[in-house]
Amino acid sequence: MKKAKIYKPSKTAMQSGMKKFNKWIIEFITDDPGINPLMKWESSSDTYSELSLEFTSKDLAIDFAKKNNIDFEIIEPKKRKIIKKSYADNFIK
């Protein structure tokens, strides 16, 4: 049986906006990564590890996983903590 994780990607440090982060991704988890004897790279014969699927909502991703008999784990996104600051606060101490 295939295992997968369903998550919402976080933004990188190079991005400031949150425009393209409304999608959910299913990524398959490979169980036995091996070492390539020639190049000593980590590799796997499981081609599902190269596959990631994008969905517009978490419910669609869960429905897809249930329909295709995929064991899944949901990783909820962390909420951003926004602290409102004032420029004047730098001088009032």
pLDDT band at 25 (very low <50, low <70, confident <90, very high): very high
CATH of the domain at 1: 3.30.160
How far is residue 33 CA from its own chain's centroid? Answer: 20
Confirm whether 37 is domain-assigned.
no
The residue range of the domain holding 68 is 1-8+23-32+43-93
- pLDDT given for residue 92 in this prediction: 81
Cα distances (Å, whole numbers) of residue 90 to 74, 82, 83, 86, 87: 41, 18, 14, 8, 6
**Is residue 17 a part of any domain in this protein?**
no
- CB count within 10 Å of CB 5 equals 14
Residue 54 lies in a domain: yes
In a domain, 1, yes or no: yes
Q: How many CB atoms lie within 10 A of CB 51?
A: 12
User: Which residues, including other chains, have CB under 8 Å from residue 71's CB and lie 6 or more apart?
Assistant: 1, 2, 3, 4, 65
Lowest mean pLDDT among 44-48, 63-67, 88-92: 44-48
Total domain count, the chain:
1
What predicted TM-score, i.e. pTM, was given to this entire model? 0.71
